[in-house]
Structure 1
Amino acid sequence: MADSDTPKYLLGGGERLSSDIPRPPRGMGEKAHPYSFAQARRRLQGQGEVVNHGLRALPPLALPANEAVIGLTLHPSYLAKSYYPSNLLKECGLRHMGSRAVHIRPEKLVTQKALDDDRPLLAPLIYVAGDVEDLASFTGAIGNWQPADAHVEDDFRKIETLALPGRDRLKPLAAGLAARKGALPLEIVLHVDEDDEGAILDAFNVFAASLGVEVLDGYTRQVGGLAFLAARGVRSSLEPLLDFTFLRALRGMPTLKPFEPALRSARASFRVQLPDADALAPDLAVAIFDGGLPSNHGLDRWVTLHEPADVGAPLPGGSSHGLGVTSAFLFGPLEEGVIPGPPPATVEHWRVIGDDTLADDFALLPVLARIENVLSSRAYDFINISMGPDITIEDDDVTAWTSTLDALLADGETVATVACGNNGEADRDAGLHRVQPPSDGVNIVSVGAASRPDTQWRRAPYSAWGPGRSPGFVKPDLITFGGSTSSPFLMLDAARQGTGFGNQGTSFAAPLVMRCAAGVRAQFAEHLWAPTIKALLIHHAEAGDHPREEVGWGCLPHGVGDLVLCRDGEAHVLYQRQMPPQGSVRMELPVPSDVHGRIEIRGTFCIYSDVDPEDALNYTRGGLEIAFRPDSVTLPEPYEKDGRVIEPTVPKTSGFFSSEELYSTEFARRDDAHKWETVFTRTKRMNSSSLNRPVFDVSYAARAHGHTGRRAPHMKVALVLTLRHAKTRDLYDRVVRTAAGRLQPMRPRPGLAVPTRVRV
């Protein structure tokens, strides 16, 4: 296999290099608490009196079942789930409704790092609900309050501020809406109980009607602990709506991203000859949700068009956009005078937009419902969405589109590629250049556009920037060729059958990534999980010197060979492993003992996770704690601490994945934030002499609403590992020998040619 002419496919079976182990011990240092209970009581007394006055001033119609919501902002020292004030909430008869991130400068700082940095610190704002009389009594008597339980005292002193939900819940209106007269289309987001039978919603409808705001029937969507409502109201009614303390956010109803005007190239159209071949893997289930196809599309051999019964007539721009997206998946960027190869799979194109959306202020809602109905009733291996709300993401709230799709995709069965938006040249100071929903999802692959298909690529100027929220901070996940003025993306033209033209946009980069992903799955007889495919895509993205907020993890080559073949001097190993009900997993790295010098180790982990949409700060319910042990055999020497001799029971760790590697210096970091991300990737170079049966010890972290939660059963964990040592050309064979029969090259499907590389 050392012969470079012999294809060296990905090595599969990495899970056979893994084993269940007890959860390794974790060091927990002493907590430096900012305030004593007595100090907390004194400093919060005045804030409590303000809240007490505000509660008593709320109109009765704004109190469903005589309940209200208040916000507790914890000191930045208490971000970890172990500091959640559950004892306090139980003592006071309060229940959790949601949370979000805020940035504050607390009254007292406890670390030298915080003292040396004058930036605001990340803190959790927790929304809690309870009987309004009990809340008023508690907040009005804080100065003399004395709980019987010391654990309640400990929870109380974690509070930095308490207040009624703020006026910042009313979001600025977009310019187009701000100029409108009369009733405005609104999106209203409410905190609700997940098992709520409608009490909060019914009460809000009555309260809104008292202010002249009409809540529209048939549009309400509940995802987790949030309800998304459609309404109409005049501008003067917006501020009074905020008296309903269960209201999480109030904004103008977003519009759909427009299909037109297209970013069409001035290049002349050209003739296209399509391949006379079936799809490589017709057993794969692939769906595109878009604007439909022209009647003369000529793709019947590979495409089935579906139109839901309630969708309006096709839009001319929608058909052109839909054909471009479908062409990008089936054939990739066309080349004039070249017959494209066979598609990786057949595709079902769902037209979810019609002329019923043209004059509808609430067009987003039925479009999302159509997508949800399909995904709830059919199983797909791959889906692509190159549409969505024409807004940028918010750091403190998750949209209906994002939360719905993340919930639908949490089982880890589907690879979803989503275009990140063409707003990259919008106002940066206002944040209007950032990625658009639903590309901020944690269970999707967010795709931006590169300007060229070769090594001279840059982020295309129109391609939206990151970052995303945390978790989901690195957005877009990656970029790939999407076209530019000087190097357009060539695709099929809806204007005339059998011709092609040049276009550009993230809408076409996203299905190109799906084409790569489906091409990988089509290549092999063995089944690859969705997290494995996503990990493989990100693993092979190269960022170079480009800023992470522009290109995410990097630019992906669109040749399948770049993803499934190993070069001389390297080995790519795939691990697919379900986490056990308890304990941890040890994953061995098959580093040959006869390789000398510095060896490069690249690891990419990926999981899919259930989500809590009402808890933007603690959005993912699952995470990973990954400890890298370069020497898994040798125990450290005993050492003395606080007068005691400590004998270590596990080998030393060496930093691999960390917050410092993930988060940029422009954003305040939390020490444990990275473990709640769904993707971890890094390259590390080490002296081979320091490696002695190296391992990753992987532990499953679970939470719900920011505090302790149960593990999701059968959570899938994927690891793509690359070992690289350029001077050892037969490294691939040595890795196979080191694994002692537990690794095998992935088996290509019979009859498939060796895929070509794009990256040289």
Structure 2
Amino acid sequence: MSDRSKQDYMPIIGNGEKMIEPIQKSYGGGETVYPRSYNEAKNRVKKQVEEVKLRIEKIPEEKRMKEVVITLRLNEKFLAKSYTPETLFRQTQLQNIGSRRWVFQKDDELKYSKMHFVKIDQEGLSSFDKILSSDEALLSDSFKNDIRKIEEFSLLDVSEVIQGFDDDWREGAVEFVLHPYNEENDVMVGKFKENLLNQGVQENTIKIREYDDGPTFVSAVVDIKVIKNIADFNPLRTVHPLRLNFFPSLRGSTNDTNLLLPPIGKAISQIKLGIFDGGINSSHPFLTKYSKENKSVNTVAIKEGIEHGTAVAGVALYGDLNQYEANNRIEDPVVFVESFRVLPLSDPTDLDLYEAIDLIEEVVPTRHDIDVYNLSFGPVGPIFDDEISRFTYSLDTLAWNYRKLFVVAVGNDGERPSPYNRIQSPADLVNGLGVGAYTYDYESTNWKRASYSCVGGGREGCKVKPDLCAFGGDSRFPIHLLNFADDKTKLLSAGTSFSAPIIASKAAEIIGRCNRFTPLVARALLIHSAKNPNLVDEQIGYGIIDQSVDDILRCDRNRVHIIYSNSMNPTGLAKLPIPLPLNISISSDVHFSWTIVTLSKVNPLHIEDYTESAIEDTFYPHSKKYKFTKGNKSKILNIDLDKIKIQELLNGGYKKSSLPATNSPERYQTELARRNDLKWDTVVKKWKRMKVNSLERPFLVLHGMGRNGSSNRIDYAVVVTINIPKYAGNLYEDILNEFRILEPIEIKNRNEVMVPVK
């Protein structure tokens, strides 16, 4: 940015967190309706307990532990975390060790509820049965109500263990997920491994990774007979296939002459972007000064890996090479690539990626100078709602522990029939960005989702996937890439492998050019800046990003963005004033939009409750208008203008709301989202259009929520946009003049992040 353009540039406004105020809010709820009486529920559960005890006796000793895992399935009315039968768990020997979604048919309709995995031995079951047979008067109401929530008490069916296998699957790599057994975990894993070996599985294909307070992941190469024979191993939670295309094909790649000249290399950027891939040609004239090869897996690099990794690194540094005019010299890139080769693996037949994940888990905690990482590879095949892969769990945990941003390609199977066109792991992570690809319609030249780009939805905790899309090209409009072999030719190709580093590079640049911005703020800004004519959908998520970082960080005279970045406790409340000037005189509508992004600790044992924290938001347009209610009657009145009427209502038994009247803005909803309202997602994006006379000192209230016993602080970033198209003056200046605690963010220009080469 030149000095002159910088003078005309209106940077995004910060310090929104300094406006935040504490607040109190009252909550109420209606009476819970249970599907059956306690006596009916008790008799039902007692019968099911007896059936489970008989089934346990038939499980071979080598396929179970002393404590057996049983499913406790709740009625569909009790899906919310608040309905977890905690009293039942406390007053019996039923140990809750996880949960996931339960899908079942009832009254010719598909229903969704939750199944809890509980661990208990035969003595504990007998004790539970004895409690159920005791005098009802001796039991607490909360215990009896927990029993009334239960729909089914049973063992997990084999069909619920085996997930994601095609009808023609016969042999290959799979991932087993085992329940946690704490101090007995080694014994349990030993039994499981022995079962595999006894069925002829080669020991050198078996890999085991355990996580504290989490599941055990086991990968192995097996055939279909092994799957069927081991699916009834009681501590086994699930098994799903692992498919890996090590280096996603450079789709229909062709070579073309490269008429561009490499940068001179007078200065090197201080902004670093980590790339996990197949390695790079570090001597390539376009890479040699702007990238570095770091610690790699203990294997020899291969041509396909270097070709893919070099192309990905080139996009991160320069974007689509087709954007530059022929015979021009490219500017020194604004980011520097730190490459980590994680492919190929030491065993060419090894399809589980555990070796690659091990290196990622080793690198990320030690590289304090890298905030953003790109991953353009991963297992092939759609994600599963009811289980999490080790790869996804690993990235989500690293993002939470070290406050990093992972940007992941969603995969190139978008042309397959549903559900095989769904996004692929680890793009389903909830603490990062899953990136799809867009291209152009040949007839209209308007942009559209590239047909190969995998679609959503995402999993619980981040339903909207892909998060974003960037240009990935197709056969008619290919993306132009660096050729690893030389700088005289370039590759013409397409794929989400190349749209992801475009987003990763922008995220790194946002953080590097704004000292006060964190990876969480960068993630919020990118999602907030995305453009989708449908607001949001499962094709392109929140939309496409085709703007430069300068555009993302820019305000206009009548369109202003404000950043709030802070933390809160679970159950905490915070009031975020929206800085709308008080005495605006306009006739046009005011357009609001806001994006809230949080970091959440994740729990792989509770897939239905995967995110342990979230923020619920409520929009209050007018700080003086309150709701007054009496029974089913309600009125909204202005506390300044309607004082006499309000006093009459209060005298007549009406009650005033604790906060001003609110309304519900537009937001993305799917069938499940309408039920859950996406309230446990790590991303919230909403829009609201209002008449100016219905606004006065509008604000948001954020409500922190924790579950699974979480007491961790919730980090969040909020971007609010106020857009008044017909505003006569300068909205940007009016906001800064009236709300003096706010100030423009200091944005470094390119020269300020570059270090001259001596």
Q: TM-score, normalised by structure 2?
A: 0.89
Please list every run of 5 or more consecutive structure 2 residues that lacks an aligned counterpart in the other structure: 634-651, 754-758
Whichever residue aligns with residue 656 of structure 1, its letter is P
1:32 aligned counterpart, secondary structure: coil
Q: CA offset at residue 351 of structure 1?
A: 0.8
Answering whether residue 344 of structure 2 is matched by residue 342 of structure 1, we say: no
- Once the two structures are superposed, residues 580-627 of structure 1 have per-residue CA deviations (whole angstroms, 9 ceiling, x without a partner) of 576311110001123333100010000111000121110000011212
Give, in whole Å, the separation in 2 of the partners of 1:476 and 1:415: 15
2:679 aligned counterpart, secondary structure: helix
More divergent stretch after superposition (434-443 vs 562-571): 562-571
Aligned to 1:48: 49
Q: CA offset at residue 236 of structure 1?
A: 2.9
Aligned to 1:459: 449
1:312 to 299, 314, 320: 299
Whichever residue aligns with residue 75 of structure 2, its letter is H
Answering whether residue 13 of structure 2 is matched by residue 7 of structure 1, we say: no
Answering whether residue 407 of structure 2 is matched by residue 426 of structure 1, we say: no
Give, in whole Å, the separation in 2 of the partners of 1:652 and 1:173: 47
More divergent stretch after superposition (499-508 vs 604-613): 499-508
Whichever residue aligns with residue 432 of structure 1, its letter is Y
Give, in whole Å, the separation in 1 of the partners of 2:426 and 2:19: 36
1:510 to 500, 504, 513: 500
Give, in whole Å, the separation in 2 of the partners of 1:628 and 1:280: 45
Answering whether residue 476 of structure 2 is matched by residue 486 of structure 1, we say: yes
Give, in whole Å, the separation in 2 of the partners of 1:441 and 1:415: 11
Does the CA-based 8 Å contact 2:395-2:406 persist in structure 1?
Answer: no
1:450 to 434, 438, 444: 438
Does the CA-based 8 Å contact 1:384-1:511 persist in structure 2?
Answer: yes
2:380 aligned counterpart, secondary structure: coil
Whichever residue aligns with residue 496 of structure 1, its letter is D
Aligned to 1:122: 112
1:115-264 correspondence to structure 2 within 5 Å = 119-135=109-125, 138=128, 148-171=139-162, 178-180=169-171, 185-193=173-181, 198-213=186-201, 219-223=207-211, 224-252=213-241, 254-259=242-247, 261-264=249-252
Aligned to 1:110: none
| Greater per-residue strand proportion | 2
Aligned to 2:701: 697
Answering whether residue 261 of structure 2 is matched by residue 273 of structure 1, we say: yes
Against the structure 1 CA distance between its residues 261 and 477, is the aligned structure 2 distance closer, same or farther, given a 3 Å change threshold?
A: closer
Aligned to 2:23: 21
Give, in whole Å, the separation in 1 of the partners of 2:274 and 2:484: 20
Against the structure 1 CA distance between its residues 626 and 470, is the aligned structure 2 distance closer, same or farther, given a 3 Å change threshold?
A: same
1:577-588 correspondence to structure 2 within 5 Å = 577-580=566-569, 583-588=572-577
Answering whether residue 93 of structure 2 is matched by residue 89 of structure 1, we say: no
1:413 to 403, 408, 412: 403
Aligned to 2:662: 653
Does the CA-based 8 Å contact 1:74-1:125 persist in structure 2?
Answer: yes
Give, in whole Å, the separation in 2 of the partners of 1:481 and 1:355: 30
Against the structure 1 CA distance between its residues 675 and 278, is the aligned structure 2 distance closer, same or farther, given a 3 Å change threshold?
A: farther
Please list every run of 5 or more consecutive structure 1 residues that lacks an aligned counterpart in the other structure: 108-117, 755-760
2:467 to 466, 477, 480: 477
- Once the two structures are superposed, residues 366-411 of structure 1 have per-residue CA deviations (whole angstroms, 9 ceiling, x without a partner) of 1111111111322321100001111210011010100111011014
1:30-69 correspondence to structure 2 within 5 Å = 30-64=31-65, 66-69=66-69
Against the structure 1 CA distance between its residues 471 and 344, is the aligned structure 2 distance closer, same or farther, given a 3 Å change threshold?
A: same
Does the CA-based 8 Å contact 1:411-1:609 persist in structure 2?
Answer: no
Give, in whole Å, the separation in 2 of the partners of 1:305 and 1:694: 51
1:701 aligned counterpart, secondary structure: strand
Does the CA-based 8 Å contact 1:271-1:500 persist in structure 2?
Answer: no
- Once the two structures are superposed, residues 445-465 of structure 1 have per-residue CA deviations (whole angstroms, 9 ceiling, x without a partner) of 100000149971100011001
| Residues paired across the two proteins, number | 719
Give, in whole Å, the separation in 1 of the partners of 2:624 and 2:294: 58
Does the CA-based 8 Å contact 1:4-1:568 persist in structure 2?
Answer: no
- Once the two structures are superposed, residues 503-524 of structure 1 have per-residue CA deviations (whole angstroms, 9 ceiling, x without a partner) of 1110010000012212222333
Does the CA-based 8 Å contact 2:591-2:723 persist in structure 1?
Answer: yes
Aligned to 2:643: none
Aligned to 1:616: 607
Aligned to 2:723: 724
Whichever residue aligns with residue 482 of structure 1, its letter is G
Against the structure 1 CA distance between its residues 457 and 175, is the aligned structure 2 distance closer, same or farther, given a 3 Å change threshold?
A: same
Whichever residue aligns with residue 355 of structure 2, its letter is P
Answering whether residue 712 of structure 2 is matched by residue 712 of structure 1, we say: yes
Aligned to 1:323: 310
Give, in whole Å, the separation in 1 of the partners of 2:183 and 2:712: 20
Does the CA-based 8 Å contact 2:206-2:218 persist in structure 1?
Answer: no
Aligned to 2:641: none
Aligned to 1:668: 672
Whichever residue aligns with residue 568 of structure 2, its letter is M
More divergent stretch after superposition (599-608 vs 624-633): 624-633
Give, in whole Å, the separation in 2 of the partners of 1:683 and 1:274: 44
More divergent stretch after superposition (515-524 vs 284-293): 515-524
1:290-301 correspondence to structure 2 within 5 Å = 290-294=277-281, 296-298=283-285, 299-301=287-289
Against the structure 1 CA distance between its residues 607 and 637, is the aligned structure 2 distance closer, same or farther, given a 3 Å change threshold?
A: same
1:120 aligned counterpart, secondary structure: strand
Against the structure 1 CA distance between its residues 639 and 363, is the aligned structure 2 distance closer, same or farther, given a 3 Å change threshold?
A: closer
Give, in whole Å, the separation in 2 of the partners of 1:404 and 1:397: 14
2:27 aligned counterpart, secondary structure: coil
Does the CA-based 8 Å contact 2:559-2:723 persist in structure 1?
Answer: yes
Give, in whole Å, the separation in 2 of the partners of 1:145 and 1:251: 45
Give, in whole Å, the separation in 1 of the partners of 2:354 and 2:115: 29
Against the structure 1 CA distance between its residues 295 and 177, is the aligned structure 2 distance closer, same or farther, given a 3 Å change threshold?
A: farther
Aligned to 1:112: none
Q: CA offset at residue 693 of structure 1?
A: 0.9
1:492-531 correspondence to structure 2 within 5 Å = 492-524=482-514, 526-531=515-520
Does the CA-based 8 Å contact 1:286-1:381 persist in structure 2?
Answer: yes
Give, in whole Å, the separation in 1 of the partners of 2:570 and 2:42: 42
